[in-house]
Amino acid sequence: MSTYAPDYLNRLNAVEHNFARFITRIPGVEVTTDRAAVISALTPTHEQVLQDGGISPKMLRRAQQVHGNKVALVGDIGCSFPVEGVDALYCGGKADCCLGIYVADCAAVWIYDQASGSRGLAHSGKLGTQQNIVGELLQAMHKTLGVNAADCIAVISPCIRPPHYEVDIPSAIKAQLTKAGILSENIIDSGLDTAADTQTFYSYRIEKGNTGRMLALFGRKPE
C-alpha cells in the first residue's frame, strides 16, 4: 500500500513524531453521488493508513465541513466528531489525536508550528477561501495556544486550479497565509490540479459529483 506521503509533505514529515498524509484516489472503490456512502466505502483504507502510521483510528478528529470559516480546538478527549459547523481543526503539540479533512477539489491546508508542535488543518474551497478560513485558523491558534505565524510551515494540497476552475484558490490562500504572518519560504504549494488528473485524484467538478473524497491527515505518532 502507498504511504500517501508525497514530496510536498516532506518538511512536515521530517519532524520527529509528525504524521502528515494525503490519501488520494483508491483503486477499486466505486464512487457515488452519496457522500456518506462513498466515505463509508473509503474508510477501511483510510483507517489502514492511520494504523500503518501507528495511530489508532479512534484518534481521528474530523470537522463537519460546511464551507464556512469556523474553527475548533480538539484533543485526545472532550467532544464528539465530526465537530459541527466548522471547517478547520487544531490541537496542541502534545495531543496524540489526528486531524482529518475530506476534499474533492477544495484545498486542504496543513499548518505546523515549529516552536510548539501545534497543528492545524483547514478545508479551504471557494467559499472558505473567500471567508479567509486559514487566517481564522491562525488567529485561533495564536489566541488559544500562543502560536506565532512566523514560526509556522503551511502546505497547500492538490486542488482544482485554472484553467479548470475560474477561481485561483491556492493563490488566494498563499496571499492570506502571507498576510497572517507566515514567511513565504515556509509556504509550500503542491502545485497539483485535481481536475487535471482523475486517475490520481477525485474531482467533484470533472466527475459531476459522482466522485469520492481524498483525506488529508495531520497527526502525532505516539511515543
The strand pairing partners of 187, in sequence order, are 154
pLDDT digits (tens, 9 = 90+) for 135-174: 999 999 999 999 999 999 999 999 999 999 999 999 999 9
Question: Mean pLDDT, to the nearest integer, of 193-202?
Answer: 97
Residues 6+ apart with CB under 8 A from 127: 67, 68
Burial class (CB in 10 A: 0-12, 13-18, 19+), 143: exposed
Q: How far is CA 142 from CA 52, 113, 118, 146, in A?
A: 32, 10, 10, 4
Strands 98-103 and 60-62 turn out to be: parallel
Which pLDDT score is estimated for 2?
A: 62
Please name every residue paired with 63 in a beta bridge, in sequence order, or none if there are none.
83
Which pLDDT belongs to residue 1?
A: 41
- Confidence check: pLDDT of 17 > 90: yes
Tell me, yes or no, if the pTM score tops 0.95. yes
What is the pLDDT averaged over residues 68-93? Answer: 91
Average pLDDT over residues 40-58: 95
Numbers of helices and strands, H then E, in the chain: 5, 10
- Rounded-to-integer distance, Cα 213 and Cα 31, Å: 9
Mean pLDDT (the chain) is 95
Q: What are the structural domains, with CATH classification, of the chain?
A: 7-220 (3.60.140.10)
Give percent above pLDDT 70 in the chain: 98
Confidence band for 223, pLDDT divided at 50, 70 and 90: confident
The CB-side HSE value for 65 (13 A sphere, CA atoms) comes to 21
Check pLDDT > 90 for residue 222.
Answer: no
